[in-house]
Amino acid sequence: MIIDGKKISQEIKQEVKQATAIFRKERGYAPGLAFILVGENPASQSYVNSKGKACEEIGFHSVTERVPATTTEAEVLAMIDRFNKDERIHGILVQLPLPKHINEQKVIEAIAPAKDVDGFHPMSVGKMMIGLETFLPCTPYGIVELLKRSGIDPSGKHVVVVGRSNIVGKPIANMLVQKKPWANAIVTIAHTAAKDIAAYTKQADILIAAVGVPFAITKEMLKPGVVVIDVGINRIEDAAAKNGSRLVGDVDFEGVKEIASAITPVPGGVGPMTIAMLMVNTLRAAGGRIS
Protein backbone atom coordinates (compact mmCIF):
# COMPACT_ATOMS: atom_id res chain seq x y z
CA MET A 1 0.00 0.00 0.00
CA ILE A 2 1.22 3.47 -0.89
CA ILE A 3 0.07 5.89 1.82
CA ASP A 4 -1.28 8.89 -0.08
CA GLY A 5 -0.39 11.90 2.07
CA LYS A 6 -1.55 14.30 -0.58
CA LYS A 7 -5.06 12.86 -0.60
CA ILE A 8 -5.29 12.53 3.20
CA SER A 9 -4.01 16.10 3.69
CA GLN A 10 -6.64 17.37 1.25
CA GLU A 11 -9.36 15.60 3.22
CA ILE A 12 -8.14 17.21 6.45
CA LYS A 13 -7.92 20.67 4.85
CA GLN A 14 -11.45 20.18 3.54
CA GLU A 15 -12.63 19.41 7.08
CA VAL A 16 -10.86 22.52 8.41
CA LYS A 17 -12.38 24.59 5.60
CA GLN A 18 -15.90 23.46 6.48
CA ALA A 19 -15.35 24.05 10.19
CA THR A 20 -13.90 27.49 9.40
CA ALA A 21 -16.95 28.51 7.37
CA ILE A 22 -19.15 27.70 10.39
CA PHE A 23 -16.70 29.40 12.77
CA ARG A 24 -16.73 32.61 10.71
CA LYS A 25 -20.51 32.64 10.48
CA GLU A 26 -20.93 32.15 14.22
CA ARG A 27 -18.25 34.56 15.38
CA GLY A 28 -17.98 37.09 12.57
CA TYR A 29 -14.19 36.77 12.25
CA ALA A 30 -11.69 34.28 10.87
CA PRO A 31 -8.94 32.30 12.59
CA GLY A 32 -5.73 34.28 12.03
CA LEU A 33 -2.19 33.01 11.44
CA ALA A 34 0.94 35.18 11.33
CA PHE A 35 4.13 34.05 9.58
CA ILE A 36 7.58 35.49 10.15
CA LEU A 37 10.15 34.65 7.48
CA VAL A 38 13.66 35.96 8.04
CA GLY A 39 16.07 35.87 5.09
CA GLU A 40 15.94 34.30 1.65
CA ASN A 41 16.38 30.55 2.22
CA PRO A 42 14.62 29.12 -0.89
CA ALA A 43 13.16 26.08 0.90
CA SER A 44 11.80 28.32 3.71
CA GLN A 45 10.32 30.74 1.17
CA SER A 46 8.61 27.87 -0.60
CA TYR A 47 7.22 26.43 2.68
CA VAL A 48 5.88 29.80 3.83
CA ASN A 49 4.29 30.42 0.42
CA SER A 50 2.56 27.03 0.55
CA LYS A 51 1.34 27.62 4.12
CA GLY A 52 0.01 31.07 3.16
CA LYS A 53 -1.82 29.59 0.17
CA ALA A 54 -3.41 26.94 2.39
CA CYS A 55 -4.68 29.70 4.73
CA GLU A 56 -6.26 31.47 1.78
CA GLU A 57 -7.96 28.30 0.49
CA ILE A 58 -9.33 27.48 3.93
CA GLY A 59 -10.59 30.97 4.71
CA PHE A 60 -8.12 31.99 7.43
CA HIS A 61 -6.89 35.52 7.92
CA SER A 62 -3.11 35.44 7.43
CA VAL A 63 -0.27 37.93 7.60
CA THR A 64 3.29 37.28 6.43
CA GLU A 65 6.24 39.39 7.61
CA ARG A 66 9.09 38.82 5.14
CA VAL A 67 12.20 40.52 6.51
CA PRO A 68 15.86 40.49 5.40
CA ALA A 69 18.52 38.16 6.84
CA THR A 70 20.12 41.20 8.50
CA THR A 71 17.08 41.67 10.80
CA THR A 72 18.18 41.73 14.44
CA GLU A 73 17.00 39.38 17.15
CA ALA A 74 15.39 42.33 18.95
CA GLU A 75 13.41 43.19 15.82
CA VAL A 76 12.14 39.61 15.51
CA LEU A 77 11.19 39.58 19.20
CA ALA A 78 9.34 42.88 18.72
CA MET A 79 7.33 41.40 15.82
CA ILE A 80 6.39 38.41 17.98
CA ASP A 81 5.36 40.72 20.81
CA ARG A 82 3.12 42.62 18.41
CA PHE A 83 1.46 39.40 17.17
CA ASN A 84 1.12 38.11 20.75
CA LYS A 85 -1.00 41.19 21.49
CA ASP A 86 -2.91 41.23 18.18
CA GLU A 87 -6.39 39.80 18.80
CA ARG A 88 -6.91 39.00 15.11
CA ILE A 89 -3.92 36.65 15.28
CA HIS A 90 -4.46 33.25 16.94
CA GLY A 91 -1.33 31.45 15.74
CA ILE A 92 2.28 32.59 15.20
CA LEU A 93 4.79 30.69 13.08
CA VAL A 94 8.43 31.73 12.81
CA GLN A 95 9.88 29.73 9.94
CA LEU A 96 13.07 27.89 10.92
CA PRO A 97 16.02 27.85 10.50
CA LEU A 98 16.82 31.45 11.48
CA PRO A 99 20.05 33.27 10.55
CA LYS A 100 22.95 32.40 12.89
CA HIS A 101 22.97 35.74 14.75
CA ILE A 102 19.44 35.08 16.06
CA ASN A 103 18.94 32.77 19.05
CA GLU A 104 16.29 30.34 17.85
CA GLN A 105 15.36 29.12 21.32
CA LYS A 106 14.84 32.67 22.58
CA VAL A 107 12.54 33.37 19.64
CA ILE A 108 10.52 30.19 20.19
CA GLU A 109 10.09 31.04 23.87
CA ALA A 110 8.85 34.55 23.03
CA ILE A 111 5.73 33.16 21.33
CA ALA A 112 2.72 33.08 23.66
CA PRO A 113 2.03 29.36 24.37
CA ALA A 114 -1.65 29.96 23.47
CA LYS A 115 -0.51 30.95 19.95
CA ASP A 116 2.21 28.29 19.58
CA VAL A 117 0.71 26.46 16.58
CA ASP A 118 4.13 24.93 15.76
CA GLY A 119 4.19 23.23 19.18
CA PHE A 120 7.85 24.17 19.70
CA HIS A 121 7.52 26.22 22.92
CA PRO A 122 8.92 24.37 25.97
CA MET A 123 5.46 24.66 27.55
CA SER A 124 3.91 22.78 24.62
CA VAL A 125 6.76 20.24 24.52
CA GLY A 126 6.44 19.59 28.25
CA LYS A 127 2.68 19.13 28.07
CA MET A 128 3.08 16.74 25.12
CA MET A 129 5.70 14.76 27.07
CA ILE A 130 3.31 14.06 29.96
CA GLY A 131 0.30 13.48 27.71
CA LEU A 132 -1.62 16.70 28.40
CA GLU A 133 -3.66 18.37 25.69
CA THR A 134 -1.56 20.95 23.83
CA PHE A 135 -0.43 22.02 20.37
CA LEU A 136 1.38 19.08 18.78
CA PRO A 137 4.24 19.84 16.36
CA CYS A 138 2.83 19.63 12.83
CA THR A 139 5.07 17.03 11.17
CA PRO A 140 4.84 14.35 13.90
CA TYR A 141 1.13 15.18 14.35
CA GLY A 142 0.78 14.58 10.60
CA ILE A 143 2.49 11.20 10.90
CA VAL A 144 0.05 10.09 13.63
CA GLU A 145 -2.86 11.25 11.48
CA LEU A 146 -1.47 9.40 8.41
CA LEU A 147 -1.29 6.16 10.41
CA LYS A 148 -4.77 6.70 11.88
CA ARG A 149 -6.45 7.48 8.56
CA SER A 150 -4.68 4.50 6.92
CA GLY A 151 -5.95 2.16 9.66
CA ILE A 152 -2.45 1.37 10.95
CA ASP A 153 -2.61 1.11 14.76
CA PRO A 154 0.82 1.45 16.42
CA SER A 155 -0.45 -0.02 19.72
CA GLY A 156 1.89 -2.80 20.86
CA LYS A 157 4.04 -2.43 17.74
CA HIS A 158 7.75 -1.72 17.74
CA VAL A 159 8.27 1.72 16.23
CA VAL A 160 11.87 2.54 15.35
CA VAL A 161 12.50 6.24 14.77
CA VAL A 162 15.75 7.07 12.99
CA GLY A 163 16.72 10.63 13.89
CA ARG A 164 16.46 12.67 17.11
CA SER A 165 15.66 16.23 16.02
CA ASN A 166 13.47 18.46 18.17
CA ILE A 167 11.10 18.98 15.21
CA VAL A 168 10.51 15.31 14.27
CA GLY A 169 12.47 12.48 15.93
CA LYS A 170 12.02 13.34 19.62
CA PRO A 171 8.37 14.46 19.40
CA ILE A 172 7.13 11.55 17.25
CA ALA A 173 8.78 9.07 19.63
CA ASN A 174 7.09 10.83 22.54
CA MET A 175 3.68 10.96 20.94
CA LEU A 176 3.69 7.29 19.96
CA VAL A 177 4.80 6.06 23.38
CA GLN A 178 1.83 7.71 25.16
CA LYS A 179 -0.77 5.39 26.66
CA LYS A 180 -3.49 6.63 24.30
CA PRO A 181 -5.43 5.44 21.24
CA TRP A 182 -3.34 5.49 18.04
CA ALA A 183 -0.17 5.46 20.15
CA ASN A 184 0.82 2.96 22.90
CA ALA A 185 3.81 1.74 20.87
CA ILE A 186 7.14 0.31 22.00
CA VAL A 187 9.52 2.98 20.75
CA THR A 188 13.22 2.99 19.93
CA ILE A 189 15.09 6.11 18.83
CA ALA A 190 18.16 5.22 16.74
CA HIS A 191 20.60 7.93 15.70
CA THR A 192 24.10 8.68 14.44
CA ALA A 193 25.80 7.24 17.53
CA ALA A 194 24.60 3.72 16.63
CA LYS A 195 27.51 1.58 15.38
CA ASP A 196 25.14 -0.63 13.39
CA ILE A 197 21.92 1.22 12.58
CA ALA A 198 20.48 -1.83 10.75
CA ALA A 199 20.52 -3.81 14.01
CA TYR A 200 17.77 -1.43 15.17
CA THR A 201 15.89 -0.79 11.93
CA LYS A 202 15.52 -4.57 11.31
CA GLN A 203 13.39 -4.80 14.47
CA ALA A 204 10.87 -2.22 13.27
CA ASP A 205 7.21 -3.02 12.70
CA ILE A 206 6.91 0.69 11.86
CA LEU A 207 10.00 2.56 10.68
CA ILE A 208 10.08 6.36 10.77
CA ALA A 209 13.01 7.88 8.88
CA ALA A 210 13.90 11.48 9.74
CA VAL A 211 17.61 11.80 9.11
CA GLY A 212 17.93 14.13 6.12
CA VAL A 213 20.17 11.76 4.14
CA PRO A 214 18.94 10.56 0.73
CA PHE A 215 18.45 6.77 0.46
CA ALA A 216 19.79 6.19 4.01
CA ILE A 217 17.29 3.36 4.57
CA THR A 218 17.46 0.40 2.18
CA LYS A 219 15.46 -2.83 2.04
CA GLU A 220 18.36 -4.86 3.49
CA MET A 221 17.89 -2.88 6.72
CA LEU A 222 14.20 -3.80 7.14
CA LYS A 223 12.03 -6.82 7.75
CA PRO A 224 9.27 -7.85 5.31
CA GLY A 225 5.86 -6.34 6.07
CA VAL A 226 7.26 -3.22 7.74
CA VAL A 227 5.32 0.07 7.57
CA VAL A 228 7.66 2.84 6.39
CA ILE A 229 7.13 6.54 7.05
CA ASP A 230 9.65 8.69 5.18
CA VAL A 231 10.00 12.21 6.60
CA GLY A 232 13.03 13.16 4.47
CA ILE A 233 12.85 15.87 1.82
CA ASN A 234 16.21 15.92 0.02
CA ARG A 235 16.98 17.61 -3.28
CA ILE A 236 19.40 15.57 -5.37
CA GLU A 237 20.92 16.16 -8.81
CA ASP A 238 19.20 14.33 -11.64
CA ALA A 239 20.31 15.04 -15.19
CA ALA A 240 17.08 13.47 -16.52
CA ALA A 241 14.86 15.85 -14.51
CA LYS A 242 13.48 19.09 -15.99
CA ASN A 243 15.46 21.47 -13.78
CA GLY A 244 18.38 19.10 -13.20
CA SER A 245 17.25 18.00 -9.74
CA ARG A 246 14.45 16.15 -7.95
CA LEU A 247 13.16 15.52 -4.42
CA VAL A 248 13.78 12.21 -2.69
CA GLY A 249 13.23 10.95 0.84
CA ASP A 250 15.52 9.26 3.36
CA VAL A 251 14.28 5.87 2.14
CA ASP A 252 15.21 4.02 -1.05
CA PHE A 253 11.55 3.93 -2.11
CA GLU A 254 11.95 1.67 -5.17
CA GLY A 255 13.75 -1.06 -3.23
CA VAL A 256 11.82 -0.78 0.03
CA LYS A 257 8.34 -0.77 -1.53
CA GLU A 258 8.93 -4.40 -2.60
CA ILE A 259 9.03 -5.61 1.02
CA ALA A 260 6.98 -2.98 2.93
CA SER A 261 3.29 -3.54 3.67
CA ALA A 262 2.78 0.24 3.50
CA ILE A 263 5.06 3.16 2.61
CA THR A 264 4.82 6.94 2.19
CA PRO A 265 6.19 8.42 -1.05
CA VAL A 266 8.31 11.58 -1.36
CA PRO A 267 6.93 13.93 -2.44
CA GLY A 268 3.27 13.34 -1.54
CA GLY A 269 3.65 11.55 1.79
CA VAL A 270 4.42 13.29 5.08
CA GLY A 271 5.20 16.69 3.49
CA PRO A 272 1.64 17.85 2.72
CA MET A 273 0.47 16.61 6.13
CA THR A 274 2.62 19.20 7.92
CA ILE A 275 0.61 22.03 6.38
CA ALA A 276 -2.73 20.32 7.00
CA MET A 277 -1.93 19.90 10.72
CA LEU A 278 -0.83 23.53 10.95
CA MET A 279 -4.31 24.44 9.74
CA VAL A 280 -5.87 22.15 12.37
CA ASN A 281 -3.72 23.73 15.09
CA THR A 282 -4.61 27.27 13.98
CA LEU A 283 -8.33 26.55 13.99
CA ARG A 284 -7.90 25.15 17.52
CA ALA A 285 -5.87 28.18 18.62
CA ALA A 286 -8.84 30.33 17.59
CA GLY A 287 -11.17 28.16 19.66
CA GLY A 288 -12.66 26.04 16.87
CA ARG A 289 -12.12 22.39 15.99
CA ILE A 290 -12.84 19.76 13.36
CA SER A 291 -15.30 17.08 14.42
Q: Which residues bind ligand GUN (CB under 6 A)?
A: 93-96, 118, 138-139, 167, 274
Task: In angstroms, give the least distance from the CB of 96 to ligand GUN.
Answer: 4
* Catalytic residue flag (residue 95): yes
- Nearer CB in complex with ligand GUN: 93/216: 93
> Which one of the listed residues 4, 13, 115, 118 is annotated catalytic?
118
**d(C-alpha 6, C-alpha 184), whole Å:** 26
* Catalytic residue flag (residue 157): no
Half-sphere exposure of 197 (CA within 13 A, CB side): 17
> Which one of the listed residues 13, 51, 115, 170 is annotated catalytic?
51
Chain position whose Cβ is nearest to ligand GUN: 96
- Nearer CB in complex with ligand GUN: 114/194: 114
- Nearer CB in complex with ligand GUN: 94/227: 94
Let me know: does 97 contact 104? Beta carbons within 8 Å: yes
* Catalytic residue flag (residue 86): no
Task: In angstroms, give the least distance from the CB of 67 to ligand GUN.
Answer: 15
Burial of residue 51, with CB atoms counted within 10 A of its CB: 0-12 exposed, 13-18 middle, 19 or more buried? buried
> Which one of the listed residues 13, 95, 116, 250 is annotated catalytic?
95
Query: Would you call 221 helix, strand, or coil by DSSP?
Result: helix
Task: In angstroms, give the least distance from the CB of 185 to ligand GUN.
Answer: 22
- Nearer CB in complex with ligand GUN: 34/207: 34
**d(C-alpha 80, C-alpha 65), whole Å:** 10
Task: In angstroms, give the least distance from the CB of 118 to ligand GUN.
Answer: 5
Residues annotated as part of the active site: 51, 95, 118
